[in-house]
Chains A and B, each alone.
Chain A
Amino acid sequence: MWKTIKRWYHQLGSPRYFYRFCEAVLPWLVPVSLALLAVGLIWGLVYAPVERYQGDSYRIIYIHVPASSGALMGYIAMGVAGLVALVWRMKMAEVMLKALAPFGAALAAVSLLTGALWGKPTWGTYWQWDARMTSMLILLFLYLGIMALQNAIRDPRQAARAAALLAVVGVINVVIVKYSVEWLNTLHQGATLKVVGESSIDASMKWPLLISMAGLWLLYAANVLIRARTEVLSRERRSGWVRRLVRDEEA
């Protein structure tokens, strides 16, 4: 087990190997994620029953929850990448840190927008400065801050170090987002999907939700791989293997 992890760390840590990994994975990752997303959303929007108290506005859940959880998971991944970049100075961790940010920021924005549009018919307000919503807004700002840092500093390795520090420190906000509905008195409802224990959502709504969640997370993964591959090419542009690659593609 440990050996496998170590081998993966070193292989995927090599830009060239990582590039080949992307070539192998992306051609099926994109179609699979789109198919799952289509099944989950059509199921949720057309076939799933209505929610007793909230009416059809609850159908926003099928994008709101996948986007919110995706934004949170993406941030945790950035925290891990940031830690690896800071401690071991691993090149690929810096690349991942950069690749994870833009789609995560988009998902955080989707979460806030769809949440507001769900809040209006359900709570009677688009926005409230309560713990869940405020911490989610901070998550968006953290994403944007990391992207700004990466673009503001010329030297990519220095930029990565600054961004990594912010990513690691910001993980505390993810904890606040997660537990804000349990520890604090918020307008936002508690979690209905639970990894441990019984979910408080009916199976007829849970399955389309889980499927669209899987779809959106995989699409995030595809987006990250595309961005990381671009970053690898850009950083390694002077190396022999990138030149040979480009030459072979031209021929």
Chain B
Amino acid sequence: MFDPYFDSVAAFIAMGEHGFFVWSAYGLSALLIVTNMLVAVRRQGRVRAEIARQARRDGARTSPKAGTSSNSVESNQ
């Protein structure tokens, strides 16, 4: 069971004449999935940077009394 099914790398790439279909299927899937993950991670970085920038601006204006303007309600409504 744990011997590779294909005799050679060439046979693996050829996929019994179906190489085009198999590899374009996997290529397109990888493209869509990887792009989606990267977009999610980059958006997170952007939002964090934005909040940090805002916090610095606020900190410069008022003395650091962070947490007083809190509207962080611990309810889920």
User: Which of chain A's residues has its CB closest to B74's CB?
Assistant: A14
Complex interface: chain A residues within 8 A of B50 (CB): 237
Q: Which residues of B contact A91 (CB under 8 A)?
A: 76-77
- Contacting residues of chain A (216-243) with chain B, CB-CB under 8 angstroms: 216, 219, 223, 226-227, 229-230, 233-234, 236-243
Verify A47–B1 contact, CB threshold 8 A. Answer: yes
Q: Which of A90, A113, A226 contacts B40 (CB 8 A)?
A: A226
Chain B 25-36 interface 0/1 with A at a Cβ cutoff of 8 Å (1 = within) = 110110011011
Which chain B residue lies CB-closest to A226? B40
Interface size class of B (residues with CB under 8 A): 35 or more
Contacting residue for B72 out of A216, A223, A241, CB 8 A: A241
A236 proximity list for chain B (CB < 8 A): 72
Main secondary structure on chain A at its contact with chain B?
Answer: helix
**Which residues of A sit under 8 angstroms from B32, Cβ to Cβ?**
106, 109-110, 113
Q: Mark A90-129, 1 if CB is under 8 A from B, else 0.
A: 1110000000001100110110011001101100000000
> Are A226 and B44 in contact (CB-based, < 8 A)?
yes
B residues near A241, Cβ cutoff 8 Å: 67, 70, 72
Could you give 9 example pairs across A and B, Cβ below 8 Å?
A: A46-B12, A56-B15, A106-B35, A109-B32, A118-B21, A227-B40, A241-B67, A241-B72, A244-B67
Contact surface of A with B, Cβ cutoff 8 Å: 9-10, 13-16, 41, 45-50, 55-57, 59-60, 63-64, 67, 88-92, 102-103, 106-107, 109-110, 113-114, 117-118, 120-121, 204, 216, 219, 223, 226-227, 229-230, 233-234, 236-244, 246-247, 249-250
